[in-house]
């Protein structure tokens, strides 16, 4: 064990309460007051009523049905005996945490529900003023935590615009927030989601006043000419004509004692061709340390230079106290989609383990310039595989010969630039590490779940004007805005959350589809930049009702307000699977790994999840794709759902042994929480299914030991 003082310091960091929250220190450790457990995002609880000896006795204590089925990624919070969560349609609710009885539910009639995979809410209080900060679409709301009513003095009638600090160029573009904000005193720093194509809004970091909803500060992740870092971009990138994004969508961590906000950022847009942003591209793909009160940059570390693979930093970093070089160090630890783990001194930003700039291949696309090197940490070793050989093709695939042939034709390897030839991206677009993020215990052991799924990607020439002129207006617009995700044949990737648009009219009315093109839904960004007429034209094409006479129309004159077209288009997201739909590579297909961040040594690694039909054939657990993180407890346990097989599991965090599992009413692609209420420890998780081809659900389920 580490010194007790170090353990207590980490626990205090993990459960420190927001400014002014009325609670005893005992309550602070007994509840789950913030997203992922606390400001350090450690996913750790000091509770130990449920432990390795009795976890097998866990039973369902209550189940709350939202009557709003669909994917839920919410990590609920618990404060003052009340559990606050979000439905699949972004409706916020409050429950009695001991019984699951609904106390209130919020829906703003001005802003219809949106299915954006909202991950939770933020609680703030000062004296008798208790607020829930939540988002729907481009709006930040302040609600009375006791009643769910909007607070009139906040923003404009109870809500503030998340576009406030993004400049005039963002006002007609897609902006939303699906991850809870991070508190520092009376300020809340907000993550944002933006488009990932040429129409992307800038991803500046913004902080708002919790009391008034006014903008407090903005940090420009795409620097202006007067800002440090401007020289790392093409000279006009900051104008947001051809480049956008570089946002933080995953959430942040904060060291409140030092006043430092830690912000992981994503890639610049468009994702897969960077000819309009030649350079290193600061501050995209960075872990930023900002002054939490002012937004001033303190230090930065970039995980990917000139990202061409959509290698966003996928989750908030974790704050921890480690023993390094014989001394205690307050550290910040960041996991990645590539399977790398970076650890830095929290104050100076200096790496705790050596990082080497290694050379990687150049791009063969005209106008593109891959950065010649990428940062690779010497330790810890990657928690997900990063390379494939022919021996890694699945031994269970009935069409293995076909898979081998495709593998031999494709380009492979870490940081291999995409081109017209197929490239196998491994780890895939969703990691490696994903948005659920890792847990960290007081001993400095990091627990991270990972996907081991290969994806196939390629680019092709963008249709020339002459080709577009031969298309109907609807097909032309579909080709320009929709084909990258849904594909030329409109089949999408349903298992990956990209629905097929074939026969979409049989599933949704026309008016609803037209609205969805503007607002977006779940992983789809909206296109508010398109006029209602253009949106209706796209939908008419999808429904097969576009007038044939329009097919010979010439393309409209170029709109000067629209960004110039890039020379290449992405050919769509393609999970590499065999003829039965299983991953094309050998298991594990999902894993759970424990890493000692004091030494960088891997402690244990086990498959996470299984396929029942393969188990029936006596095939050992293969693991499955997984979304949502773990929770570590002082009872020696690691709770995690996340898997395609719809189970929630408890592992012994010392050795990875499986101690308990339970089949949920729907798969839970969400991080659980744990808390005490009425003298009992509960573990609660959102079960929405609807991803990876799983059935939809609508419930939150809480487990506890029998009375």
Q: Check whether residue 468 and residue 448 sit in a common domain.
A: no
How is residue 26 written in tokens? 């005992």
Q: pLDDT tens digits, residue range 41-98?
A: 999 999 999 999 999 999 999 999 999 999 999 999 999 999 999 999 999 999 999 9
The answer to whether the CB of 424 falls within 8 A of the CB of 410 is yes
Question: Comparing C-alpha atoms, which of 35, 109, 38, 108 is closest to residue 75?
Answer: 35
Judged by DSSP in three states, 384 sits in: coil
Cα-trace Rg, the chain: 24
Residues 155 and 234 in one domain: yes
Q: Is residue 89 domain-shared with residue 121, that is, in the same domain?
A: yes
Tell whether 404 is covered by a domain. no
Q: pLDDT band at residue 104, thresholds of 50, 70 and 90?
A: very high
- What is the 3-state secondary structure of 402-465? HHHHHHHHCECCCCCCCCCCCEEECCECCECCCCCCCEECCCCEEEEEEECCCEEECEEECCCH
Give yes or no for residue 552 having a pLDDT over 90: no
Q: Are residues 555 and 596 in the same domain?
A: no
The last residue of a domain, from among 530, 565, 600: 565
Higher pLDDT: 569 or 257? It is 257
Pairing of strands 122-126, 658-663: unpaired
Cα–Cα dist 664/390, whole Å: 37
Count the Cβ atoms, other than its own, within 10 Å of residue 585.
24
Residue 394 lies in a domain: no
* Domain at 548, CATH number: 1.10.760.10
Whether 582 is covered by a domain: the verdict is: no
Q: How large a percentage of the chain has pLDDT more than 70?
A: 89
269, 289: one domain: yes
Based on the fold, state whether residues 367 and 478 are members of the same structural domain: no
**513 and 615, same domain (yes or no):** no
CA angle at 357 for the pair 353 and 361, rounded to the nearest 5°: 140
610: pLDDT confidence band, cut at 50, 70 and 90?
A: very high
Domain count, the chain: 2
Check whether residue 229 and residue 163 sit in a common domain.
yes
Kindly state whether residue 340 falls inside one of the protein's structural domains. yes
DSSP secondary structure letter of residue 349 = -
For 692, the domain range is 4-386+426-453+587-704
Q: Could you tell me which residues come within 8 angstroms of residue 325 by beta carbon, excluding any fewer than 6 positions away?
A: none
Q: What is the CATH number of the domain that holds 201?
A: 2.140.10.10
- Residue 283: asked if its preceding bond is cis (omega within 30°), the reply is yes
The residue-averaged pLDDT of 156-182 equals 95
Q: Is residue 581 part of a domain?
A: no
Counts for the chain of helices (H) and strands (E), in that order: 9, 45
Residue 4 confidence class, pLDDT cut points 50, 70, 90 = very low
- State residue 535 phi and psi, 5-degree precision: -65, -40
Residues 177 and 109 in one domain: yes
Q: Count Cβ atoms within 10 A of the Cβ of residue 509 and give its class: 0-12 exposed, 13-18 middle, 19 or more buried.
A: exposed
Instruction: Please check whether residues 60 and 133 belong to one and the same domain.
Output: yes
Residue 349 in any domain: the answer is yes
pLDDT digits (tens, 9 = 90+) for 218-275: 999 999 999 999 999 999 888 887 788 999 999 999 999 999 999 999 999 999 999 9
- Residue 647 · residue 689 · CB < 8 Å: no
Q: What is the DSSP secondary-structure string of 119-136?
A: ---EEEEETTEEEEEEEE
Considering the domain architecture, whether residues 291 and 262 belong to the same structural domain is answered as: yes
CB 106 within 8 A of CB 686: no
Residue count of the chain: 707
380 and 521 in one domain?
A: no
Looking at 502, 531, 565, the residue that finishes a domain is 565
Q: Check pLDDT > 70 for residue 137.
A: yes
For 349-365, what is each residue's pLDDT tens digit? 999 999 999 999 999 99
Helix (H) or strand (E) holding 696: strand 696-704
pLDDT digits (tens, 9 = 90+) for 323-336: 998 999 999 999 99
What pLDDT is attached to residue 3? Answer: 37
| Range 305-310 average pLDDT | 98
Cα 68 to chain centroid distance, Å, stands at: 22
- pLDDT at residue 549 above 60? no
Question: What six digits make up the tokens of 594?
Answer: 């424990």
Is residue 529 within 8 Å of 172, Cβ to Cβ? yes
- Average pLDDT of every residue of the chain: 90
CB-based contact 220:202 (threshold 8 Å): yes
pLDDT digits (tens, 9 = 90+) for 504-520: 777 777 776 776 676 66
Out of 511, 534, 565, a domain closes at 565
pTM of the model: 0.89
Distance CA 672, CA 418 (A): 36
Evaluate whether residue 415 is within a structural domain.
no
pLDDT of residue 487: 73
Asked, for residue 63, whether it belongs to a domain, the answer is yes
Is it the case that residue 658 has pLDDT exceeding 70?
Answer: yes
């Amino acid at each position: 064990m580490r010194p007790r003082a170090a353990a207590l310091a980490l626990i205090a960091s993990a459960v420190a309460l927001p400014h002014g929250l009325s609670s005893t220190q005992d309550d602070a450790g007994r509840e789950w007051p913030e997203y992922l457990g606390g400001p350090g995002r450690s996913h750790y609880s000091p509770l130990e009523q449920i432990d390795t000896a009795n976890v097998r006795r866990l039973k369902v204590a209550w189940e709350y049905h939202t009557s709003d089925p669909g994917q839920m990624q919410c990590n609920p919070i618990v404060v003052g005996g009340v559990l606050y969560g979000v439905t699949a349609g972004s409706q916020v609710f409050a429950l009695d945490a001991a019984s699951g009885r609904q106390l209130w539910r919020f829906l703003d009639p001005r802003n219809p529900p949106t299915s954006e995979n909202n991950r939770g809410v933020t609680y703030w209080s000062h004296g008798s003023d208790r607020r829930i900060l939540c988002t729907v679409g481009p709006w930040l709301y302040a609600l009375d935590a006791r009643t769910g009513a909007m607070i009139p003095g906040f923003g404009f009638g109870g809500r503030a615009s998340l576009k406030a600090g993004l400049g005039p160029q963002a006002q007609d573009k897609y902006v939303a927030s699906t991850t809870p904000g991070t508190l520092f005193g009376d300020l809340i720093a907000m993550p944002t989601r933006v488009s990932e194509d040429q129409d992307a809004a800038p991803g500046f970091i913004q902080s708002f006043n919790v009391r008034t909803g006014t903008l407090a500060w903005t940090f420009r992740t795409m620097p202006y000419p007067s800002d440090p870092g401007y020289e790392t971009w093409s000279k006009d990138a900051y104008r947001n004509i051809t480049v956008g994004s570089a946002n933080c969508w995953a959430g942040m961590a904060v060291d409140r004692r030092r006043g430092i906000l830690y912000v992981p950022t994503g890639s610049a847009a468009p994702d897969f061709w960077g000819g309009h942003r030649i350079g290193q591209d600061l501050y995209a793909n960075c872990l930023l340390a900002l002054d939490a009160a002012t937004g001033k940059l303190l230090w930065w570390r970039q995980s990917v230079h000139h990202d061409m693979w959509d290698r966003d930093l996928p989750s908030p970093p974790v704050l921890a106290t480690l023993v390094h070089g014989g001394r205690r160090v307050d550290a910040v630890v960041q996991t990645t989609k590539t399977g790398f783990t970076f650890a830095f001194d929290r104050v100076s930003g200096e790496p705790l383990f050596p990082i080497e700039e290694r050379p990687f291949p150049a791009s063969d696309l005209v106008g593109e310039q891959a950065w010649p090197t990428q940062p690779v940490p010497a330790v810890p070793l990657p928690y997900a595989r990063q390379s494939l050989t022919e021996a890694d093709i699945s031994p269970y695939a009935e069409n293995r010969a076909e898979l081998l042939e495709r593998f031999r034709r494709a380009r492979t390897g870490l940081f291999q630039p995409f081109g017209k030839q197929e490239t196998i991206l491994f780890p895939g677009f969703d990691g490696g590490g994903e948005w659920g993020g890792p847990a960290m215990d007081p001993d400095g052991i990091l627990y991270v779940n990972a996907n081991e799924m290969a994806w196939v990607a390629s680019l092709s020439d963008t249709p020339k004007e002459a080709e577009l002129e031969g298309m109907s207006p609807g097909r032309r617009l579909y080709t320009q805005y929709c084909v990258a995700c849904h594909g030329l044949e409109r089949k999408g990737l349903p298992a990956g959350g990209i629905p097929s648009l074939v026969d979409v009219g049989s599933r949704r009315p026309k008016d609803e589809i037209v609205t969805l093109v503007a607002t977006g839904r779940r992983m789809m960004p909206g296109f508010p930049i398109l006029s209602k007429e253009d949106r209706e034209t796209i939908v008419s094409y999808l429904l097969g009702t576009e007038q044939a006479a329009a097919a010979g129309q010439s393309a409209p004159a170029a709109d000067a307000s629209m960004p110039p077209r890039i020379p290449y288009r992405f050919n769509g997201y393609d999970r590499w699977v065999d003829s039965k739909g299983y991953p094309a590579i050998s298991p594990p297909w999902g894993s759970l790994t424990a890493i000692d961040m004091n030494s960088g040594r891997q402690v244990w690694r086990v498959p996470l999840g299984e396929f029942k039909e393969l188990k029936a054939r006596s095939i050992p657990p293969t693991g499955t794709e997984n979304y949502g993180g773990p929770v570590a407890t002082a009872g020696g346990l690691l709770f995690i759902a996340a898997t395609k097989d719809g189970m929630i599991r408890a592992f012994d965090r010392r050795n990875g042994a499986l101690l308990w599992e339970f089949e949920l009413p729907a798969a839970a692609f969400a991080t659980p929480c744990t808390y005490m209420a009425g003298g009992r420890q509960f573990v609660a998780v959102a079960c929405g299914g609807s991803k990876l081809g799983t059935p939809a659900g609508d419930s939150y389920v809480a487990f506890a030991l029998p009375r």
